[in-house]
Amino acid sequence: MTNNLEEKRKQLVHYLKDIQSIETKEVEKAFLKIKRELFLPKEMADMAYADEALPIGFDQTISQPTTIAIMLEMLKVKEGMKAGEIGAGCGYASSLLSQLVGDTGKVISVEVIKELAEKGKKNIEKHEIKNVEIIQGEGVKTLQEKAPFDRILISAACPFIPKELFDSLNEGGKIVAPVGDRNSQTMQCMTKIKGKPVKEEYLKTYFVFVPLGGKHGFDKFYWNPGKNKWIKSQDDRIW
């Protein structure tokens, strides 16, 4: 089984290179190093290298490899950088980021759902990754508290890139996020140049992500840790 999965991993990376989702050696090495099967239930291991999103519980998914590769190439992560992520999920993208920032870099990833945050931490441990910290909390607010960042990845659909996160970037920093409505998003990259946003957009295809929650999402909901679920707000004072 192990050898079979390793071969499937190589085949997936070859495919991602062929369709130009993977363009750099750094992203290629990260995908070859990180074992996607370790981020899925054991019964789904044989599906790990299908180029599709897969369920991980709590109405969440592990993103399609093509999508993650596109996001990471847009993000242009360099060794030694401090990267933040909103939507840690099972920890797969966090692990890929860990390879890109290297031993001298740091990844801080936020996951609002407690059970998924715990799963993500355990999955990181399986890979013996030391430069990733997964925190359970509300994405934008929690990540702000850990600023500044060189790179930020938002793994949830956004109606816009939150200004608070842009302000959390160092000069020259980048945010990549799927931006649009609930049903369709384009991948956007915002770069901080002389304190101002410079936008790039990936227009070869559209994306469908699970929606970002909280006041920066599509609805006025807040995460109630006590009830461990989203609660609809009765007014505009979300946080």
Rounded CA gap, 133 and 205, in Å?
Answer: 31
Work out the angle at residue 134's Cα, subtended by the Cα atoms of residues 207 and 112, and round it to the nearest 5 degrees.
Answer: 60
233 is catalytic: no
Q: Across 54-168, where does the E strand assignment appear?
A: 54-57, 60-62, 82-86, 106-111, 132-136, 149-154
* Marked catalytic residue, from 21, 63, 95, 98: 63
Q: What are the backbone dihedrals phi and psi of residue 7, each rounded to the nearest 5 degrees, phi first?
A: -65, -40
| DSSP 8-state class, residue 19 | T
Collect all residues with Cβ–Cβ distance below 8 Å to 59 and sequence separation of at least 6. Answer: 210
| DSSP 8-state class, residue 168 | T
To which H or E segment does residue 189 belong?
A: strand 185-193
- Residues serving a catalytic function are 63
